């Protein structure tokens, strides 16, 4: 349901003399359907059904979605209003779960013919979610119910003695993943009907009144939904409300919809809070009677909504009543919804929390159809986005906020209601590609025959945003994408902004979107205000539309020249002169930005941090301190992170060929974002983003670095500032993680400053500057596992499998499958055996680490004993320490684990060998047995140098070629 351009005939009318209007209000006073009295004395909060008696009316006429009054007298709603949630049974009415009614036996229950906008809450029974209290999951997320689009509410005038036709249109109904297969309309009270089983029926009325029409929409997947609309038929004898004064009427894109306020000049005692009100008009354009509007058959409607806040002022006469009527956006903001959480599933969904082929559209459908009654009473149009969404999540908040979260935070689609109350969720025109914008209609070109007075143009030549960083995931790969606009350097003015977690097509999409978003943030003409000298209701805040305006140089002192400048309406307001009957329109627009004029953002290649040491470890090791108890987090066998978890290192080359003239002038210094303490006990390698081209020795001004901070060395157990300078490295790193430039240190002339230059064979683009500690690293020539029980009764029969690798400044080691076995078929010896060392891990060659302070951390240990009575102990120590530094056991039956980490500190003079001894209670005559052990440890260095880095600077660089 797109906006449309005004026709030539409509433009003639809009530019004619004698435009005049009469305004009316249609206030829905719903008819009584069924009444009863509460027939129960005990009420347990929350409550979703109530027993009743003394029912009056036809129970079958009570429909899900209708409004239920609870009151202290017949027909009253003083205790509250509820929503019938499912078909009642004899004696029980079911309604939306509530805690807000002060129930009492014999309260009056009144069901009225009104199907409005309500939340439908989720209920958790244990961990099982139910929609709308008791709707369990069957296939609702596999076969999606259709959404009826039946058009807005209508207001018709009945000619005296004649009939009037309602021509509703359900052809806009939709079904995600399916198609609409049939329609079936019902129109109680109609005098005649035609084509009720089509999308476009004709429904005839011959009497004034308020009528309900419904349409059962069936999808090809077999699912159905019934939508309802109400229409008002007025006649000369049955007039709408005329005794009122329109105080304001406006729609705001930012607020998401329309509202108006009126002062009632007649008795308003019968007007119920939250009644639906339609403001409509009888219009003339010159000699031609009839309204102009974008939607056929409802051109006479100005705005609609539900009564919200009232202003009641007693005075010397009968007092005054003013009330605000607000549209669906407001009401959905005021309704709190439970959290939304849906994940994409690889097969047909089996739970409310899953959905196959999850998209933004599908998440919005879930919210509208299952979490509210919108599909019963409100037209809605989704973005039409088919990109795959990994998950849809929105916290508990107003349902409108949830809509915005699901739509805007993923694809920048914003929900907005037009003045008919139709909900559009569309990406804003400003963010569309140039090609997509072509489909956004220009409703009309505003000429000097349209606007009155002056056009108010706000020009903002100073940028608001200096750099936009836009990021998200690619829908089909889930890979990260990032783009920055307008380039790698801040613009002269403005602040940095970021937009994150978007769902993007590809890098080109990200770049285009970044360019458009940046252009929008820095829109040169953010406000263009116009007062139209006409009753123009063709222009609205939704769906997507534009108007255009031309200005000649002589029109303004500024000499602004616009040739059909596209403007996007952001606020539309109607002013009504009741005495003269003239209705005029005011627009607040913003100029269209971006599009063909936008400069695409630049690609930011996201790479994983380069790996220090072994290049085959492509991930950060987990923080073992946070693993908690070993058994809870690891599989029983083999018990350790398997090597296949280690991915290959990503290699994402950037475009080569950077150029940088040899006579490039000196520049900088530029701050590289690296600071903090570097040591092997903390962060021993730090990266700072800086995308530049570094220069070479052939350049007159070569690239130099400067580090400022406190450079310390551990001397005799005391940290002292040092001039030592060979214990760290400064390097230029490419986007692929390769070292492309090596820092050559200058002699130290200041204790707290280090300088040098970056040496590279050719001008080279770098993505990072890296500073890393070279001293103190644990980089053994090898790791061995000379396990030995030193006892022939149960020798080591399998040395197991050893794996190790660098972990930060230290190493990790795993030793799995070390086995000892009894040497006899029957264990003749009884009771406790101190069996010796079952796992021994040696770091480096003999005495390689002599004198080095190390920390060996036994992160995990596992002993698998045979079933029976063997109870194993284990205790660990560092070779040469002489005494066990931890002990655990006995452990019964099959398994033994370390239940906490153990950290040992070696002292100089000891071999860097970790040992774990085993002891066991082995009863005499135990059959032959095997005990298996697995171990996981880390070896971490202790620092002798550290750097408290306060600032890192780089000078004399070239920009990356565009």
* Residues at the contact surface with other proteins, assessed by CB under 8 A: 15, 17-20, 22, 447-449, 451-454, 533-535, 577, 579-582, 584
Pairing of strands 128-131, 122-125: antiparallel
Q: Which residues pair with 307 in a beta bridge?
A: 325
**Shorter beta-carbon distance to other proteins: residue 274 or 575:** 575
Sheet holding 154-158, edge to edge: 154-158, 224-235, 209-219, 180-186
DSSP secondary structure, 720-738, as one string? EE----SSEEEEEE-TTS-
Pairing of strands 801-807, 871-878: unpaired
Helix, coil or strand: residue 606: coil
**Shorter beta-carbon distance to other proteins: residue 448 or 831:** 448
Q: What is the smallest separation between the CB atom of 328 and other proteins, expressed in angstroms?
A: 32
Q: What is the smallest separation between the CB atom of 538 and other proteins, expressed in angstroms?
A: 17
**Shorter beta-carbon distance to other proteins: residue 242 or 655:** 242
Helix, coil or strand: residue 511: helix
**Shorter beta-carbon distance to other proteins: residue 580 or 882:** 580
**Shorter beta-carbon distance to other proteins: residue 17 or 625:** 17
Cis before residue 486, ω within 30 degrees of 0?
A: yes
Q: Which of 169, 151, 147 is nearest to 226 (CA)?
A: 147
Q: What is the smallest separation between the CB atom of 18 and other proteins, expressed in angstroms?
A: 6
**Shorter beta-carbon distance to other proteins: residue 447 or 698:** 447
Cis before residue 890, ω within 30 degrees of 0?
A: yes
**Integer Rg of the chain from CA:** 38
Tokens of 501: 């977690």
Tokens of 106: 């014999």
Q: What is the smallest separation between the CB atom of 180 and other proteins, expressed in angstroms?
A: 44
Q: What is the dihedral of CA 862, 863, 867, 873, to 10 degrees?
A: -120
**Shorter beta-carbon distance to other proteins: residue 555 or 614:** 555
**Shorter beta-carbon distance to other proteins: residue 22 or 752:** 22
Q: What is the dihedral of CA 767, 768, 769, 775, to 10 degrees?
A: -130
Q: What is the smallest separation between the CB atom of 295 and other proteins, expressed in angstroms?
A: 24
Q: What is the smallest separation between the CB atom of 510 and other proteins, expressed in angstroms?
A: 43
DSSP secondary structure, 98-162, as one string? ES-----TT-EEEEEEEE---B--EEEETTEEEETTTB--SSTTTSPPPB------EEEEEPTTS
Is residue 107 a contact partner of residue 71, using CB atoms and an 8 Å limit?
A: yes
Q: What is the smallest separation between the CB atom of 355 and other proteins, expressed in angstroms?
A: 53
Q: What is the smallest separation between the CB atom of 585 and other proteins, expressed in angstroms?
A: 12
Q: Which residues have C-beta within 8 Å of that of residue 454, sequence separation ≥ 6?
A: none
Q: What is the smallest separation between the CB atom of 537 and other proteins, expressed in angstroms?
A: 15
Is residue 667 a contact partner of residue 629, using CB atoms and an 8 Å limit?
A: no
Tokens of 650: 């990503």
Q: What is the smallest separation between the CB atom of 570 and other proteins, expressed in angstroms?
A: 22
**Shorter beta-carbon distance to other proteins: residue 236 or 715:** 236
How far is residue 791's CA from residue 814's CA, in Å, rounded to a whole number? 24
Tokens of 910: 């000891």
**Shorter beta-carbon distance to other proteins: residue 397 or 582:** 582
**Shorter beta-carbon distance to other proteins: residue 581 or 631:** 581
Give the phi and the psi of residue 431 in degrees, each rounded to 5. -100, 0
Q: What is the smallest separation between the CB atom of 285 and other proteins, expressed in angstroms?
A: 11
Q: ∠ at Cα 663 (658, 665), nearest 5°?
A: 95
């Amino acid at each position: 349901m797109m906006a449309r351009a005004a026709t030539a005939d409509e433009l003639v009318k809009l530019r004619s003399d004698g435009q005049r209007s009469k305004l009316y209000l249609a206030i829905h006073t719903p008819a009584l359907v069924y009444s009863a009295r509460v027939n129960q004395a005990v009420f347990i909060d929350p409550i979703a059904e109530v027993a009743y008696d003394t029912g009056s009316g036809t129970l079958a006429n009570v429909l899900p979605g209708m409004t239920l009054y609870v009151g202290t007298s017949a027909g009253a709603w003083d205790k509250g209003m509820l929503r019938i949630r499912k078909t009642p049974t004899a004696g029980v009415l079911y309604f939306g779960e509530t805690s807000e009614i002060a129930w009492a036996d014999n309260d009056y229950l009144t069901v009225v013919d009104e199907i409005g906008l309500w939340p439908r809450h989720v209920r958790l029974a244990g961990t099982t979610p139910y929609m709308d209290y008791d709707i369990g999951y069957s296939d609702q997320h596999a076969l999606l119910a259709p959404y009826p689009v039946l058009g807005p509410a209508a207001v018709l005038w009945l000619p005296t003695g004649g009939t009037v036709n309602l021509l509703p249109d359900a052809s806009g109904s939709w079904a995600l993943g399916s198609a609409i297969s049939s329609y079936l309309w019902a129109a109680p009270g109609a005098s005649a009907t035609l084509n009720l089983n089509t999308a476009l029926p004709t429904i005839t009325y011959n009497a004034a009144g308020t009528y309900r029409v419904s349409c059962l929409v069936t999808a090809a997947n077999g699912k159905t939904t019934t939508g309802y609309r109400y229409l008002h038929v007025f006649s000369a004898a049955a007039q709408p409300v005329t005794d009122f004064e329109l105080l304001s009427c406006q729609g705001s894109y930012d607020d998401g919809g329309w509202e108006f306020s009126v002062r009632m000049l007649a008795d308003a005692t019968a007007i119920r809070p939250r009644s639906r009100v339609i403001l409509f008009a009888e219009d003339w354009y010159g000699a031609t009677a009839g309204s102009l509007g974008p939607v056929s058959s409802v051109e006479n409607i100005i705005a609609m909504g539900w009564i919200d806040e009232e202003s009641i002022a007693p005075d010397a006469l009968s007092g005054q009543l003013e009330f605000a009527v607000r549209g669906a956006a407001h009401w959905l903001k005021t309704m709190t919804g439970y959290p939304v959480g849906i994940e994409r599933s690889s097969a047909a969904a089996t739970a409310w929390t899953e959905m196959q082929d999850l998209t933004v559209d599908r998440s919005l459908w879930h919210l509208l159809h299952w979490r509210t009654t919108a599909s019963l009473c409100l037209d809605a149009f989704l973005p039409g986005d088919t990109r795959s969404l990994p998950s849809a999540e929105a916290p508990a908040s107003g349902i409108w906020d949830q809509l915005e979260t699901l739509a805007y935070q993923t694809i920048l689609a914003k929900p907005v209601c037009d003045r008919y109350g139709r909900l559009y969720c569309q990406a804003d025109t400003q963010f569309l590609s140039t090609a997509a914008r072509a489909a956004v209609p220009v409703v009309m070109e505003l000429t000097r025959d349209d606007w009155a007075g002056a056009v108010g143009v706000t020009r903002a030549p100073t940028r608001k945003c200096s750099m936009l960083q836009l990021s998200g995931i690619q829908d089909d790969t889930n890979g990260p994408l990032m783009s920055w606009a307008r380039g790698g350097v801040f613009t002269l003015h403005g602040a940095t902004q970021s937009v994150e977690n978007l769902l993007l097509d590809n890098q080109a999409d990200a770049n285009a979107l970044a360019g458009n978003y940046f252009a929008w943030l820095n829109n040169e003409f953010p406000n263009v205000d116009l007062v139209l000298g006409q009753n123009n209701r063709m222009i609205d805040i939704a769906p997507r539309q534009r108007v255009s305006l031309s200005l000649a140089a002589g029109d303004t002192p500024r000499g602004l020249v616009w040739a059909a400048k596209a403007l996007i309406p952001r606020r539309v307001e109607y002013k009504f002169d009741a005495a003269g009957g003239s209705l005029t329109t005011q627009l607040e627009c913003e100029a269209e930005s971006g599009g063909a004029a936008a400069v695409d953002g630049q690609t930011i290649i996201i790479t994983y941090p380069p790996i220090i040491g072994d290049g085959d470890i492509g991930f950060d090791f987990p923080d073992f301190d946070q693993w908690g108890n070993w058994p809870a987090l690891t599989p029983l066998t083999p018990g350790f992170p398997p090597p296949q978890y280690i991915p290959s290192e990503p290699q994402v080359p950037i475009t080569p060929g950077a150029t940088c003239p040899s006579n490039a002038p000196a520049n900088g210094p530029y701050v590289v974002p690296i600071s903090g303490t570097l040591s092997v006990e903390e962060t021993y390698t730090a990266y700072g983003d800086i995308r530049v081209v570094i220069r070479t020795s052939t350049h007159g001004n070569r690239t130099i670095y400067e580090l400022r901070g406190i450079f310390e060395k551990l001397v005799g157990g005391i940290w002292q500032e040092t001039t030592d300078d060979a214990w760290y490295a400064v390097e230029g790193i490419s986007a692929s993680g390769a070292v492309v430039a090596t820092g050559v240190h200058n002699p130290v002339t200041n204790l707290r400053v280090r300088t040098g230059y970056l040496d590279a064979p050719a001008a080279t683009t770098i993505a990072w500057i890296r500073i890393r500690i070279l001293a103190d690293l644990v980089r053994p020539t090898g790791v061995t596992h000379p396990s030995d029980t030193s006892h022939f009764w149960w020798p080591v029969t399998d040395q197991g499998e050893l794996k190790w690798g660098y972990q930060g400044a230290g190493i990790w080691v795993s030793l799995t499958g070390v086995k000892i076995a009894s040497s006899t078929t029957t264990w003749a010896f009884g009771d406790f055996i101190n069996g010796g060392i079952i796992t021994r891990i040696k770091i480096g060659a003999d005495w390689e680490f002599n004198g080095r302070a190390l920390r060996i951390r036994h992160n995990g240990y596992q002993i698998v004993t045979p079933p029976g009575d063997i109870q194993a102990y284990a205790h660990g120590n560092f070779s040469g320490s002489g005494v066990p530094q931890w002990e655990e056991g006995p452990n019964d039956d099959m398994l033994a684990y370390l239940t906490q980490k153990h950290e040992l500190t070696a002292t100089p003079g000891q071999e860097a060998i970790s040992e774990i001894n085993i002891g066991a209670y082995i009863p005499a005559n135990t059959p032959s047995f095997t005990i298996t052990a697995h171990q996981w440890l880390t070896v971490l260095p202790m620092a002798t140098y550290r750097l408290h880095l306060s600032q890192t600077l780089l000078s004399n660089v070239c920009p990356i070629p565009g």
